[in-house]
Amino acid sequence: MTTTIAKGLEGVLFTETKLTFINGSEGILTHLGIPIQEWAEKSTFEELSFALLHGRLPGADELARFDAELRANREVPAELLSVIAAYPKGVHPMQALRTAVSHLSLFDAEAEDTAAEDRYRIGVRMIAQFSTIIAAIARAQDGQEIVAPRADLTHAGNFLYMLKGSEPTAEEARLFDIALILHADHGMNASTFTAIATASTLSDMYSAMTSAIGALKGPLHGGANEAVMDMLDEIGSVENAVPYISEKLDHKEKIMGVGHRVYKFFDPRSRVLRDYAAHVSEKQGKSHYYQILETIEKEIVDRLGSKGIYPNVDFYSGVVYSDLGIKKSFFTPIFALARISGWVASVMEYTANNRLLRPDAVYAGAKDQTYPELSDRQ
Ligand SMILES: CC(=O)SCCNC(=O)CCNC(=O)[C@H](O)C(C)(C)COP(=O)(O)OP(=O)(O)OC[C@H]1O[C@@H](n2cnc3c(N)ncnc32)[C@H](O)[C@@H]1OP(=O)(O)O
Ligand SMILES: O=C([O-])CC(=O)C(=O)O
């Protein structure tokens, strides 16, 4: 009997979801059946978060109440801010975020509660608080005063305000809002799966979110947005882009921000981000980052398009974030700031009909061995 192993769990279906649909061969992504392009154009991060958490669009009153709930939950305990301010300066912001979210649980007397209403309450609070925590980490690492959240700004606007200490323009806040929308959910990606796996043991929301942050951090997943910027810095000039890519491919090395487990065509989010990156680049009089990315995209599509390798969501996002004055080490925390909504919603959806996640492996090790005494071993 032959056993087939689904390496990397590719194509394995373990649950049903009503939240996100992806057609990888045509580059289609929908939330609740609505194309991602429409969400980006017409919606807000607050509305999409409600839609993911509830599995339906909110009415105007419901949206206002949900928005008010997020605004009311932005504060984090002062003790946590003191701890964040004392983190070593050189740590990666994702290390700091993972630690701070775990630490946050210590201040929540109901952190361990796992009924659906507890998961929802904690989840909504965390969607609001991630913003405050990430901005605090950024300020502390720069040796600047931590800025308290403001309840009169949108989720996106308030984050930029806390990060920079000054109110963003309406255009900046909207651009950031769109970036959050584009990153909010994406089916059974590695970090969402990790959150679900943790929650499936009936562990608490803080543990699920902390595990998800750890999974997002890696360069094959959310960490790729920062890795793309490292690559651009290494390439340095437009002239060097093609020789750099050729050399990497000749050595069978991966190019960051391209390729995807599900998309075998353009990731639709990368198309939206490319348009914004182009706009930002024009504004700056043709940023060299954007020009290098355009050159790499052409080279990748020419050389690897037939293998189904195209730019993914992480390819152009950094150009947009840089224009908003965000440092590259904060690109992945910003991914987490958006993806928390998808994590919470997916955990809620899965645990409503929970079963412990526990795959299996084909045993390929030694059999029928006896225990050798230490003194008898080579
Ligand atoms: C938000 C996100 O998580 S989006 C993804 C972010 N990650 C990145 O951008 C990192 C770069 N990309 C990758 O490493 C991969 O494309 C992944 C991890 C995203 C998906 O990969 P998988 O589905 O596991 O594909 P796998 O790594 O097995 O690659 C399949 C083939 O495509 C090639 N390939 C895949 N991605 C790339 C890439 N970025 N550059 C060059 N070749 C690639 C592999 O070398 C392999 O070729 P082979 O069949 O000749 O050996
Ligand atoms: O779906 C995936 O595997 C990765 C991805 O694009 C995301 O998480 O946004």
Query: What is the structure's pLDDT at 1?
Result: 67
Q: Which atom of ligand 2 is nearest to the CA of 191?
A: 8
Predicted model pTM:
0.97
Ligand 1 is surrounded, with C-beta below 6 A, by: 8, 189, 220-222, 224, 254-261, 307, 309, 312-314
226-271: pLDDT as tens digits: 999 999 999 999 999 999 999 999 999 999 999 999 999 999 999 9
Report, as residue numbers or ranges, the catalytic residues.
260, 314
Q: What is the torsional sign of CA 141, 145, 147, 148?
A: positive
Check if the beta carbon of residue 345 is closer than 8 Å to that of residue 52.
yes
Domain definitions of the chain by residue range: 38-221+331-351, 224-323
Pick the CATH number of 38-221+331-351 from 1.10.580.10, 3.90.1170.50, 1.10.10.10, 1.10.287.1060: 1.10.580.10
For residues 65-92, average pLDDT: 97
Please report the DSSP string for 87-122 in residue order: S-TTS-HHHHHHHHHHHHGGG-TTTT--SHHHHHHH
Give the residue from 225, 218, 277 showing the smallest Cα distance to 256: 225
Coil, strand or helix: which one is 34?
strand
The beta-strand segments (E) located in 24-95 are: 28-31, 34-35
| 125 CA from centroid of ligand 2 (Å) | 24
**In a mutational test of the pocket of ligand 2, which residue from 216, 221, 273 has the highest number of ligand atoms less than 8 Å from its CB?**
221
Q: Quote the ligand 1 centre to 91 CA distance (angstroms).
A: 27
Q: Is the pLDDT of residue 155 over 70?
A: yes
Q: What is the pLDDT of residue 3?
A: 86
The protein residue with its alpha carbon nearest to ligand 2, atom 9, reads 186
Residue nearest atom 12 in ligand 1 by C-alpha distance: 259
Condensed to tens digits (0 to 9), the pLDDT of residues 16-50 reads 999 999 999 999 999 999 999 999 999 999 999 99
The CATH class of 224-323 is mainly alpha
- Of all residues in the chain, what percent carry a pLDDT higher than 90? 96
ipTM here: 0.99
201 touches 194 (CB < 8 A): no
Placement of tokens 């993806």 in the chain: 339
Q: How far is the CA of 284 from the centre of ligand 2 (A)?
A: 30
Measure the CA–CA gap between 298 and 304, rounded to whole angstroms: 10
